[in-house]
Amino acid sequence: MQIKLDLNPEERAVLDWIDTRADGMIKTAKAWSAINSGSRNADGLEAMRAELETAFAATGGEISAIELPPTTVVDPDGTVREQAFTPAFHCRIRPQAPIRIVMTGHHDTVFPADSHFQATELWDDDTLNGPGVADMKGGILVMLHGILGLERSPWKDEIGIDVLISPDEEIGSLGSGPVLAELGAGADIGMTYEPALADGSLAGARKGSGNWSLKVSGRAAHAGREHHLGRNALAAACQFGLGLDDLNGKRPDVTFNLARIDGGGPPNVVPDNAVVRFNVRVKTENDRVWVEAELERLVDEICVRDGIDAELHGGFTRPPKPMSPANAKMFEWTRAAGTALGLDIRWQDTGGVCEGNNLWAAGCPNVDTLGVRGADIHSDREIVKLSSFAERAKLSAILLMKFAQGQFDAREARALAKAGTQD
């Protein structure tokens, strides 16, 4: 049964105020889009974090930088090294408030510093094309104005918020993952600001995802004089890749994507190193266990070759996020808030992943596509629907105000999540 919401005069006043901020949100989105903050562009990421500090100062929260632990990466030549991250942005508002909400986003994009895609372009009165305008600099602005709306309401003291905006979401949240887990474990619910689809649909259940690099080592030799002395790492890597691809279709809803093989060199040298890079998507935790066993088997099979060694780096970084009763309750409330705005909010399951997966793994029920309406993200056709800035900020403001007034019971959702883990 769908919840029917009535908006009181104080709530309507907040929504009217957000409408007055629409042009400013669009102007800021254009300015932020012009800052290249690709996941490996440290200078751009720090410039963007400085912008966030200025913008979120209006919330009155305590702003800090969270240093993230480095991760291990495998270079194309097989060198294993540490990869550092720039700090994450953190804003804490009323940490002693009775209801705790974690709101997450990311200020990195998929577009590197040398990308050809660096500027915004207005395609029509409601469509802006540009890097990160939807994913997710626009979403950050929606989050900010949802909070500012709450701050103008008489119920703000009931809600405490932790805002985490990460520099590494597009590369798997390897550094920010532990911070997401900590904040998710301490919150009643989560709200994440990935873009909704252009028609306003939200993501429902999400698969889990993992990325790996397999370092394969052999022995170099002259391809003519001493071919028999060589041990071909590239051939072993290809064997592994074919075995990996053959796993597709062996288990429903599990996919293996062989993405790249680095290695080799001159045709007269037996290659002594190769690196295989791949991604796996799973629907359940049982799928994850099966995948890990199959990967171990494939590694053992290539290591049977005399003189071949292999090291597997990486793993599952985002567990599956099901449409559990707790997450379904969050969607029910979101849909009710949308109906109060005249929106028909729907959702659909997806193979994509985001920080909502991490929050759910920490026991935190959440909705993870509360950002702007957009399309064609991760491409130079990325767009945002300009009318969605105020629209989605008002959606978040209603949710926050209803949580603060107890009409939506955040603790109920958390209790449902806890009960689910004990079944």
Range from 62-76, 299-313, 342-356, 397-411 carrying the lowest mean pLDDT: 342-356
Average confidence (pLDDT) over 390-410: 97
The pLDDT mean for the chain works out to 96
Q: pLDDT band for position 96 (50/70/90)?
A: very high
Cα–Cα dist 292/294, whole Å = 5
Cα–Cα dist 359/366, whole Å = 7
CB 5 within 8 A of CB 336: yes
- On whether residue 44 sits in a domain, the answer given is yes
- On whether residue 342 sits in a domain, the answer given is yes
Cα–Cα dist 78/139, whole Å = 37
Helix axes 285-303, 233-246, angle to 10 degrees: 150
Q: Which of 318, 333, 365 is the last residue of a domain?
A: 318
- On whether residue 79 sits in a domain, the answer given is no
Q: Are 93 and 233 part of one and the same domain?
A: no
Q: pLDDT band for position 190 (50/70/90)?
A: very high
Q: pLDDT band for position 198 (50/70/90)?
A: confident
Helix (H) or strand (E) holding 88: strand 88-93
Residue 352 φ/ψ, nearest 5 degrees: -75, 160
**Centroid of chain to Cα 131:** 16
End-to-end alpha carbon distance in the chain: 25
Q: Are 174 and 219 part of one and the same domain?
A: no
pLDDT > 90? residue 230: yes
Range from 96-100, 185-189, 313-317 carrying the lowest mean pLDDT: 313-317
Q: How far is CA 151 from CA 97, 109, 301, 345, in A?
A: 13, 29, 60, 25
Which residues pair with residue 281 across a beta bridge?
A: 209, 255
Q: Are 237 and 198 part of one and the same domain?
A: no
What CATH number did the domain enclosing 390 receive?
3.40.630.10
Percentage of residues in the chain having pLDDT higher than 90: 94
Average confidence (pLDDT) over 386-406: 98
Q: Which of 260, 283, 318 is the last residue of a domain?
A: 318
Residue 176 φ/ψ, nearest 5 degrees: -85, -10
Average confidence (pLDDT) over 106-121: 98
Per-residue pLDDT at 133: 98
Helix (H) or strand (E) holding 301: helix 285-303
Q: Are 128 and 166 part of one and the same domain?
A: yes
Helix axes 22-33, 42-56, angle to 10 degrees: 160
- On whether residue 230 sits in a domain, the answer given is yes
List helix spans (H) across 341-387. 355-361
Per-residue pLDDT at 367: 97
CB 319 within 8 A of CB 360: yes
Average confidence (pLDDT) over 47-72: 97
Cα–Cα dist 268/329, whole Å = 63
Per-residue pLDDT at 1: 55
What CATH number did the domain enclosing 234 receive?
3.30.70.360
Average confidence (pLDDT) over 287-307: 96
Cα radius of gyration rounded to whole Å, the chain: 23
pLDDT in tens, 239-259: 999 999 999 999 999 999 999
Per-residue pLDDT at 322: 92
The more confident residue out of 353 and 238 is: 238
- On whether residue 381 sits in a domain, the answer given is yes
Domain count, the chain: 2
Which residues pair with residue 109 across a beta bridge?
A: 38
Per-residue pLDDT at 421: 62
Q: Are 392 and 255 part of one and the same domain?
A: no
Q: Where are the beta strands (DSSP E) in 177-296?
A: 189-192, 196-197, 202-206, 208-217, 221-222, 255-263, 269-270, 273-282
pLDDT in tens, 325-361: 999 999 999 999 999 999 999 998 888 889 999 999 9
- On whether residue 91 sits in a domain, the answer given is yes
Q: pLDDT band for position 423 (50/70/90)?
A: very low
Kindly report whether the peptide bond that precedes residue 136 is cis, defined as omega within 30 degrees of 0: yes
Expressed as residue numbers, the domain containing 25 is: 9-72+85-205+321-422
Percentage of residues in the chain having pLDDT higher than 70: 99
pLDDT > 70? residue 261: yes
**Is residue 200 left, alpha or beta, with left meaning phi > 0 and alpha meaning psi from -120 to 50?**
left
Please report, to the nearest 10 degrees, the dihedral formed by the alpha carbons of residues 111, 113, 117, 120 taken in order.
100
CB 264 within 8 A of CB 281: no
Per-residue pLDDT at 361: 94
pLDDT > 90? residue 49: yes
Q: Are 179 and 234 part of one and the same domain?
A: no
Q: Residue count of the chain, please give it.
A: 423
Burial 62-80 (b: 16+ CB within 10 A, else e): ebeebebeebeebeeebee
**Centroid of chain to Cα 251:** 25
Which residues pair with residue 262 across a beta bridge?
A: 275
pLDDT > 60? residue 52: yes
Tokens of 148: 């500012």
pLDDT in tens, 169-183: 999 999 999 999 999
pLDDT > 60? residue 312: yes
Q: Spell out the residues 6+ positions from residue 271 whose beta carbon is closer than 8 angstroms to its own.
A: 218, 220, 232, 233, 234, 263, 264, 265
Range from 1-5, 55-59, 322-326, 354-358 carrying the lowest mean pLDDT: 1-5
Per-residue pLDDT at 422: 53
